[in-house]
Amino acid sequence: MITIVAKFIIKKECVDEFKKLAWELVVGSRNEAGNVSYNLYQDRANPGVLTFIEQWKDEAAIDFHNATEHFTSAIAAMEPLEEAAPEINQYDQLS
């Protein structure tokens, strides 16, 4: 299993719009065959920091996800809302 942690820093005036787009992405992604879990978290101290934590069966599932319409359109729509480029890390499960 592969876990992706994708941290976004969003402009203060754009947080609500980002959350709407993110919810559509979450719903679409959860329906993909290789998805184990897909959740969005908001930092309690800084509401402009939103993080996706995703779990995928394998690399093929991630490749499929990254090519879907709901992913590519959401990422394109989110980009102008970002304060900075997102930090995206992939992790292999060890335990």
Q: What is the pLDDT of residues 25-81, one digit of tens each?
A: 999 999 999 999 999 999 999 999 999 999 999 999 999 999 999 999 999 999 999
Q: Which CATH number covers residue 27?
A: 3.30.70.100
Q: Give the model's pLDDT for residue 20.
A: 98
Count of structural domains within the chain: 1
Place of tokens 């719009």: 17
Contacts of 46 (CB under 8 A, 6+ apart): none
Stretch 7-31: mean pLDDT: 98
**pLDDT score at 25:** 97
Query: In the structure encoding, which two tokens stand for residue 26, read together?
Result: 């979450």
Reported pTM: 0.94
Q: CB count, 10 Å around CB of 12? A: 9
Residue 76 exposure: Cα atoms within 13 Å on the Cβ side: 8
What residue numbers bound the domain in which 58 lies? 2-92
For residue 17, which amino acid is it?
Answer: E
Classify residue 19 by its DSSP letter.
H
